Amino acid sequence: MMMQKLLVMLAFCSANAFASPININTADAKTIADSLNGIGIKKAEAIINYRTKNGDFKSIDDLSHVSGIGAKTIEKNKTDILLNDNTSIPAPSNQPVISESIDKTI
């Protein structure tokens, strides 16, 4: 029984870990609620209502203008939010970052 609970929790966590980022300017309330941590259907509907009244979000931090959405919620969801369909998350560079002064001594 304990193993089943553990597997269910693991499946739930891994589903969120591999979820694709969503476009906050086009997503419906259900998609927002299902995709973002700490945002249920009520907050997702508040996001939609704000977007309808004020237009598209220009930055992720604009979500702080929505009642019930604070800095902590925004921070934990930053990598899961897109502002348009052309926005992509930059891949990490495999090149080490070396300052110019260190590079000259090498």
Nearest alpha carbon to residue 22 among 87, 106, 69: 87
- Give the model's pLDDT for residue 42: 98
**Taking the complete model, does pTM exceed 0.85, yes or no?**
no
Q: Is the pLDDT of residue 84 over 80?
A: yes
CB 24 within 8 A of CB 57: yes
Q: Which domains does the chain have, with CATH numbers?
A: 19-79 (1.10.150.280)
Mean pLDDT, range 66-82, rounded to an integer: 96
Confidence of residue 89 (pLDDT cuts 50, 70, 90): very low
Between CA 22 and CA 20 the distance in angstroms is 6
Nearest alpha carbon to residue 83 among 65, 63, 53: 63
| Tokens at 100, concatenated | 């110019």
Mean pLDDT, range 69-79, rounded to an integer: 96
Confidence of residue 10 (pLDDT cuts 50, 70, 90): low
Between CA 88 and CA 86 the distance in angstroms is 6
Mean pLDDT, range 35-63, rounded to an integer: 97
